[in-house]
Structure 1
Amino acid sequence: MRKAPFPSTLNRRRALGLIAVTAGGSALVPVQLFAKQASPQASSLLLPEAGVCSITPETTEGPYYFDPELERSEITEGREGVGLTVRLQIVDEACNPIEGARVDLWHCDATGHYSGYPGQGDNRDVDTSGEKFLRGWQRADTAGIATFQTIYPGWYRGRTTHIHFKAFPEEGRAMTGQMFFPDDLSEQIFSTRAPYNQRGGQRDTMNADDGILRRAGSGVQSTVREAASAYEALMIVAVRRAG
């Protein structure tokens, strides 16, 4: 498989923290500390500034998961929003990339709606049954990286801004996680950019109020890079191999 291109230095225009944690409560170790326990070869393959390389705890998949049976990296299906590239690097407990691991990604659109379900929205009157926007899966490349082209997720009542993912290190095994975004960046986008600023209602849940994020306990920051009008979110997902 072709290794996805990845810049080795931070964009100098702006670097913003992305809370990259999953529920479960275990402490996460920064890459620069954990890498001392990994082989030099494994350490050299890790995404720079991408957060953690310690076993990633599980979290709930939520009520809106289904397998769209779509192997694709571009998942927007024309949904409007601020461009976002998500790169998830799947590694084992020794920080070795897992080539070929399957990664599923799904999240809500700029107005807080998921594809494929009825009864959404503030008035529970939005039905997206039969649609598959903002969903897809990819195989990790030789560096363990799965890349998705999507949009910055919106919000809906009771949850802070987040993206869901599943990582399948091998057939029959899966772990489920979520990644969270800094409130200041979310608020800036939601208040100034269309279509985020065109929706009704009032955002009621920030990071500090989100039950899933709160139960996750201590976490570390990964990286959001800004490039022109788009962003890039990076996260290392460490899973145990079977055996």
Structure 2
Amino acid sequence: MNDATRRRFLGLASAGAASLLPSAPGRADAPAAAEPGAGDACILTPQSEEGPYYLDPKLVRADITEGRPGVPLSFRLRVIEAGACTPIAGARVDIWHCDARGLYSAFRDQGDGHNIDQTGKTFLRGTQRAGQSGWAAFNTIYPGWYAGRATHVHFKVFLEDRTVLTGQTFFPEALNEFIYNNVPDYTGRPKQRLVINANDRVATEADPDHRAYCAVKEERDRYVAMLTLAVDRNGKPNAEIMPSGPPSRAPWIKDRLAALVPGLKRSPF
């Protein structure tokens, strides 16, 4: 794929994302640009299951890569109060996600052969405090994938040591497909990626309205992903959401192109 084709492809994948992002790259507390319909961000962000791979290594840091290979990603979250849309300065934000090969730090029995042990490691985990405008920013890599799940990043928001939001954010599938098929750090997996946003049970059941899908912008040396997290500061502490029983089987995708590219007006199933 030549450079011009690649840029047209990525333009489709991230269309409209630029107007959603902070105006100053690298600053955790840069103001967001105004956008028509931005009031939708003030609706409560949906809760989602914590999953099996959370731990708190007590690492307050912006750079969480620890040398893991992958496409550079600036991941920016803004914490606001639902309804009022006011930023919540000082909110604690945790994120964690897998590396380019689908591995989480700190856990064993991972990988395509379920035989990789990452205990004792802390890569791709970290904590930041939101600034005066509500922004918290992390330098990381574009997440990879593992069997049974779509591409995602986990997050938690704490207010005064109370967990007020546990969730996951998802990425544009056309961009996922491009990276996983073309970037060497992500290629060469023994099996095809079968679960994507359209048939991931967490994405479809916990977030059917796509309120926690991030916007992605291509910059010269990295991608930038942004999401606004609307929380209820006076609500009850969020109970950790874990799956009840074995996961439901993901529906089979018959038309992969329809599942990857929005607006084709045909069913992927």
- TM class, shorter-chain normalised? 0.7 to 0.9
Match of 2:202 in 1: 212
Aligned mates of 1:174, 1:240 — CA distance in 2 = 7
For residues 140-219 of structure 1, what are the structure 2 equivalents within 5 Å? Answer: 140-215=130-205, 216-219=207-210
Provide the C-alpha distance between the structure 2 equivalents of 1:73 and 1:15, rounded to a whole number of angstroms: 29
Displacement after TM superposition at 1:115 (Å): 0.3
The SS at the match of 1:147 is: strand
What's the CA shift string for 1:69-102, capped at 9, x where partnerless?
Answer: 1000100000000011011000012111000000
Structure 1 pair 196/167, CA: closer, same or farther in 2 (3 Å)? Answer: same
Inter-partner Cα distance in structure 1 for 2:46 and 2:169? 12
Gap change, CA 1:222 and 1:109, over 3 Å in 2: closer
Change (3 A) 1:53 1:88: same
Shift of 1:219: 2.3
SS at match of 1:196: coil
Matched, 1:71 2:65: no
Partner residue in 2 for 1:55: 44
Does residue 227 of structure 1 match 2:216? no
Greater relative CO, 1 or 2 (CA 8 Å, sep 6+) = 1
- SS of aligned partner of 1:191: helix
Structure-1-length-normalised TM-score: 0.79
Is 1:114 matched with 2:96?
no
Between the aligned partners of 2:197 and 2:162, the Cα distance in structure 1 is 33
Per the TM alignment, residue 229 of structure 1 is displaced from its structure 2 partner at its CA by 3.6
- 8 Å CA contact 2:170–2:214 kept in 1: the answer is no
Report the TM-score, using the length of structure 2 for normalisation: 0.72
Q: Secondary structure at the match of 1:197?
A: coil
- SS in structure 2 at match of 1:136: strand
Distance 1:63 1:171 in 2: 21
**Corresponding residue of 2:250:** none
**Quick one: structure 1 residues 57 and 153, their matched pair in 2 at CA, closer, same or farther if it must change by over 3 Å?**
same
Residue from 122, 126, 129 that aligns with 1:139: 129
Instruction: Quote the sequence identity (%).
Output: 47
Count of residue pairs brought into register by the alignment = 208
1:87 partner SS: strand
1:129 to 96, 115, 119: 119
Is the Cα–Cα contact under 8 Å of residues 169 and 214 in structure 2 kept in the other structure? no
Q: Match of 2:7?
A: none
What do you get for the CA RMSD once the two structures are aligned?
A: 2.3
- Name the aligned partner's letter for residue 224 of structure 2: E
Cα contact 2:13–2:174 (8 A) shared by 1: no
Shift of residue 46 of structure 1?
4.7
Q: Is the 8 A contact 1:15 1:226 kept in 2?
A: no
Once the two structures are TM-superposed, the CA of residue 171 in structure 1 deviates from its matched residue by 2.5
Quickly say closer, same or farther: Cα 1:209–1:176, change in 2 above 3 A.
same
Q: Give the conservation status (yes or no) of the 8 Å contact 1:169–1:239.
A: no
- Structure 2: distance between partners of 1:212 and 1:173: 20
Structure 1 residue 53 displacement after superposition: 2.1
Shift of 1:189: 0.3
Gaps of 5+ in 1: 1-12, 19-30, 32-44
Describe the superposition over 1:108-165 as per-residue Cα deviations: whole angstroms up to 9, x where unpaired: 0000000000011121101000000000000001111000000000000000000000
Structure holding more strand per residue: 1
1:17, 1:222 within 8 Å by CA — same for their partners in 2? no
Q: 1:117 to 1:222 in 2, by over 3 A?
A: closer
Matched with 2:76 is: 87
- Classify the secondary structure of the residue corresponding to 1:75: coil
Cα deviation digits, residues 44-74 of structure 1 (max 9, x gap): x555458722111210010000001100010
Q: State whether residues 108 and 116 of structure 2, in contact with CA within 8 Å, keep that contact through their aligned partners in structure 1.
A: yes
